[in-house]
Amino acid sequence: MDNFFEKVWDVACLIPVGRVTSYGAIARYLGTARSARMVGWAMNNCSAAKVTVPAHRVVNSKGILTGKHHFQGAYVMEDLLKSEGIEVKDNQIVNFDEHFWDPIKELGIH
């Protein structure tokens, strides 16, 4: 499982500033389309990674900040996204499609 987590973290580290992706998009890129929840677990445990993982850039498939309760404060995830130019309203990314980064399209098939 640690190897899977490291693969998830590696992909998350490639998400550009001002862009976001979803748990499912990372899972599909890794060839494990049904493992979006495991991607979520990896993001929840990214403090164990050897590098800083921009976990705030990974949201659910509708752009909702479902992982926000795993940050040190209630608004940390939202504040980090806003600092990168991403508008958030009611815990959801505004114009999600414009900010969405699909690793398969951006990086090719893994």
Question: Chain-centre distance of CA 74, in angstroms?
Answer: 17
Residue 69 is predicted with a pLDDT of: 79
Q: Where are the domains of the chain?
A: 2-100
CATH 1.10.10.10 fits 2-100, yes or no: yes
Q: Which tokens go with 44?
A: 């929840």
Per-residue pLDDT reduced to its tens digit, 2-48: 699 999 999 999 999 999 999 999 999 999 999 999 999 999 999 88
Signed CA dihedral, 34, 40, 41, 46: sign only: positive
